[in-house]
Amino acid sequence: MVGGNAIRGTRVGAGPIGESERGESAPRRRISYWCANGHESQPSFSMDADIPDEWDCPRCGLPGGQDERNPPAAPRTEPYKTHLAYVKERRSDADGEAILADALERLRKRRQI
């Protein structure tokens, strides 16, 4: 097919060709982070960027540190607690008995009226 509207040598959606059209990229450096499972990730940062102490591992999600031999510990997750468990944390059994006795006494007084 000769003379169509096709542009030779490119494809649909192709970006700019070469550094001259995109501009110069900023100088970068790669920093290694290790998680508790031994995974290494190497994100790249700009030379003038502040380097974070921890970086989340892209493989397992645990936090990673820059010291390979001493990675940060996995965060402790609290198990699901019921409403009763939270109440028992705040009140002792004796407090609960006193509150129940007071509520029952008020209920009995209302019924007598």
Spatial CB neighbours of 75, under 8 Å, sequence gap ≥ 6? 63
The string of pLDDT tens digits covering residues 70-110 is 999 988 888 899 998 998 899 999 998 999 999 999 999 99
Q: Mean pLDDT, the chain, as a whole number?
A: 85
Pairing verdict, β 40-41 and 44-46: unpaired
pLDDT score of 12 more than 70? no
Residues in the chain: 113
> pTM here?
0.53
- Write out 60-108 in H/E/C secondary structure: CCCEEECCCCCCCCCCCCCCCCCHHHHHHHHCCHHHHHHHHHHHHHHHH
Dist CA 40 CA 79 (whole Å): 29
Q: Is the pLDDT confidence value at 8 over 80? A: no
For 23-61, the pLDDT digits (tens) are 677 899 999 999 999 999 999 999 999 999 999 999 999
